[in-house]
Amino acid sequence: MMEIDDSLYSRQRCVLGEDAMQKMSESKVFLHGLGGLGIEIAKNLVLGGIQELTIQDNTVCSYADLGTQFFVRKADIEAGKTRAEASLPHLADLNPYVRVVLDANDLTTIRSPLTDATNQALLRSLWKFGQSEARSVQCLILTHCSLHAATLLNLFCRQHNIRFIYTDVYGVLGNLFCDFGPDFLITDPDGEPAKEFFIGHIEKRGSGELLVKVYGDRRHHLETGHVVQFREVCGMTELNGRTFAVCVLSPSELLIEVETDELSQYTGGGIGLQIIQPQRRSFKTLLEQLRQPTIVTTDLSRPDEGILLHHVFLTLMKFKHEEKRLPKPWCESDYKLFSTKFEELRQVSPHDLGSPECLTFVRRLALVSQGQVPALCAFFGGVAAQEAMKALTGHFSPFNQWLYMHCEPVIPRNLESQTLCLNGSRYDLLTVCIGPLCLQRLRHLSAFLVSYRRQSTIVLVKSSYLA
């Protein structure tokens, strides 16, 4: 068992606990894609303290990478290095306890069938074919990957008990998909300490129920379905040491089901202690979730927005598969083509995608899909690394199963009237999303940050637009 270095991990250890930290220190992760999003994931996992991170990205560094990929330098571009080659030494320097390995293959070139000999050569970093201890990694994270390749790799991961995360950012739209297998064990669903309360009174309700009241004006802080163990109960001593699922009646009252005929009369005292119960969750494959997605609701005022964003994503993937690229920035002919593909999917979709007015929103998302907002990369990089930690440790409940977020309001309303001058600079990807005028304001903006927060960048982008 590896000893955890408290000088490095003390605060994380307080959140995750000893058992989860040990699991992290023994885990291996494979990450494909080291763009603006991928490098955020890699940085977070290395700092988090996994055992080994294998990185893969054969894309040659470009000046556009300088705007989102903080480990790429001008010298790397001039030397013709790949993103993975440029990032490797910097990632290795972040944490001496984590081994960072470069893989020169390209998983995204995988083709059906999975049993093909060429595929086996690609997949050796995930699975040691012909060996008894076959699994090489516990989690695969894909960024900058086609939907077709992701679907095949997801099926491979399901067959070999490898946790799977698929995420990317398209302009002002980002998404994430999790599949941790058909029987994933969550040892600690919420990370909260077990609740404990003093009992004020217990009374019988018929022959099958007990009403438990908390002492004084205190609260139990439990939810229906939580399991509680009783101890030090006087009189009704038959309850001591037994556990019961509770039904919450009020913040200070609980109902439990128990045969009451043989229970003694309650005389006083007692303590209720929550027993945290492991949970099992069954995930569906990426292929199943494409048509019938389970999407996390992030905005209760717009509960149906997730399914609309899902179809925008599917249309972008269809466009990229057929045209070998995403729609050009603010190109009307490309949007007409995108719109045709969107309507094709809409016709066969079992979901209501909203009124025709939503097409203006869809149009704005599609026409900036080649850009990137650094803050959105940082956000999804944090979320993806967080979900990977859940997959590796079983600590905290993972997303079920899609997450979609967008920052469409950062796109200026008059962006179409502005002339986009993309000259191969580090700001091109951001310019696509916020326009040259907003970028100019941003470059002349001075800010003083009292404390560093990941949200700060996106707040600055919004404030410069609104100014």
**pLDDT surpasses 60 at 218:** yes
Question: In this structure, how many other beta carbons lie within 10 angstroms of the beta carbon of residue 332?
Answer: 11
pLDDT, tens only, 365-401: 999 999 999 999 999 999 999 999 999 999 999 999 9
Locate 59 and state its tokens.
């894309």
In the beta sheet, which residues pair with residue 140? 30, 164
Residue 445 binned pLDDT confidence (cut-offs 50, 70, 90) = confident
**pLDDT surpasses 60 at 452:** no
Strand order in the sheet with 139-142: 99-102, 52-56, 28-32, 139-142, 163-170, 173-179, 402-406
Which of the pair, 128 or 83, is modelled with greater confidence? 83
Nearest to 365 by CA among 405, 418, 400: 405
pLDDT, tens only, 271-294: 999 999 999 999 999 999 999 999
**pLDDT surpasses 60 at 145:** yes
pLDDT, tens only, 194-210: 999 999 999 998 878 99
Please count the residues of the chain.
Answer: 467
pLDDT number for residue 464: 37
pLDDT, tens only, 406-443: 999 999 988 876 777 888 889 999 999 999 999 989 88
- Mean pLDDT to the nearest integer, 176-199: 93
The answer for residues whose C-beta is within 8 angstroms of residue 34's C-beta and 6 or more apart is 42, 55, 56, 57, 59, 69, 83, 84, 87
pLDDT, tens only, 306-322: 999 999 999 999 999 99
Which of the pair, 200 or 462, is modelled with greater confidence? 200
Lowest mean per-residue pLDDT among 2-6, 18-22, 254-258: 2-6
| CA dihedral (170, 171, 173, 179) positive or negative | positive
pLDDT number for residue 356: 66
Determine the Cα–Cα distance for residues 122 and 91; give it in Å rounded to an integer.
23
Determine the Cα–Cα distance for residues 328 and 62; give it in Å rounded to an integer.
18
Q: Share the mean pLDDT of the chain.
A: 90
pLDDT, tens only, 7-28: 788 888 888 888 889 999 999 9
